[in-house]
Amino acid sequence: MTTLFDQSASNDDVGSERAQEFAREHPRLVQLGRVGWAANGVVYALMGALAFTIAGQSAGTTTGQGEEASKSGAIATIAEQPAGAALLIAIAIGLALYAIWKLVSLVLPADNDAHAWVSRLGSLLGAVSYVALGWTALSIALRPGTSDGSNGSRVETYTRRVLDATGGRFLIFAIGLGVVGLGGYYLYKAWNATFESDLAPGSVGPLSHHALVNMGRVGWLGRGLMVALIGSFLTRAAMQFDPDDAVGLDGALRRVAGSPLGTALVAVVALGLIAYGVFCIVSAPRRRLTSV
C-alpha cells in the first residue's frame, strides 16, 4: 500500500511521488475525507453501545429489546434523538464524503499485484456500503418513521433465496468462509497494527500516537470478532440448510449471549466497536489518504 504524505518514500518510486503530489494539490479532499472518517466512527460507536445492551439484557441488568445492534440500528437510534434529522443529514454527508475518499484511493498510483487488487476490491465494496448507509440515513431523516426492515431479517431473506437456488448451499458456505476469513484478517490487523501506516505521526490532544494505535488495536479486535461471528452463522446455515441460522450482527450477538462466556464475548465485541468508533473520531486529524 502506498501512503500519501510518506516523506520516506524513495525518489525512484514514481507511484509514491505522484500520490504525494496529488495530496499536496488536493488538501481539501483530504480534510473532507477525514470528516467522513469521523462520521463512520460515530456509527460504529453507537453500534457498540447498542451491543452493550444485549450483554446487559443477557446478564439481567436491562430489560426490553431496544434498537438493533447494527449500522441500521445505530442510524435509527440517532433518528430518535433531539434534532435527529439534522444529525442524520450531517452523518449522511460525512459517509458520502468517506465513500468519495475510498473511490479516490482506487485511481491513485499503486502496485499491480494480487494484494493491491484485493485492496481495490475492498475499497470499492466499502464505498458502496457507505453510500448505501448514507442513503438510509438520508431517507430516514427526510421521511421519519420509514425503515426497510432489520439487518438480520434481510440477511435471512437473502440467504433463504440463495439456498433455494441450485448450488446455493455451496455459495452460502463459501461466502460464510470468506466472511470468517475477513474477520481473521481484521484480527491480524489488530495484532500487528498494520493500520498504523494509515496514520500520520504525532499526537492528537492529550493522546499520544502510541495511545491512538493501541485504541485502534482494540477497535480492530472488536471488528474482527464481529465479522467472524456473522460468518460462522452463515456457514452454519449452509451446513444445516437452515436460513434461520443466517443472521446479522444483532442476531449473532443475541444467540451467543446465552451463556456467561457468551455474554463476556458480546461485551468484548461491544467494547471493541466503541473503541473503533472513538478511534475513527479521534484519529481523524491524523488520517492519511492511501492508494491501494
pLDDT for res 59: 54
Residue 3: its H or E element: strand 2-3
Q: pTM of the full predicted structure? A: 0.81
Cell numbers that stand for 45 in this block: 460507536
pLDDT digits (tens, 9 = 90+) for 77-122: 887 888 888 888 898 898 888 888 888 777 766 666 666 676 777 7
Mean pLDDT across the chain: 78
C-alpha–C-alpha distance, residues 2 and 22, integer Å: 13
**What are 2's strand-pairing partners?**
291
Kindly indicate the confidence band of residue 28, based on its pLDDT and cuts at 50, 70 and 90.
Answer: confident
Which DSSP letter does residue 289 get? P
The DSSP secondary-structure symbol of 284 reads: G
Q: Band of the pLDDT at 282, cuts 50, 70, 90?
A: very high
- Judge whether 61 and 125 are in contact, CB under 8 Å: no
pLDDT of residue 191: 94
Give mean pLDDT, residues 134-151: 71
Q: How far is CA 86 from CA 68, 83, 192, 290, in A?
A: 21, 5, 39, 30
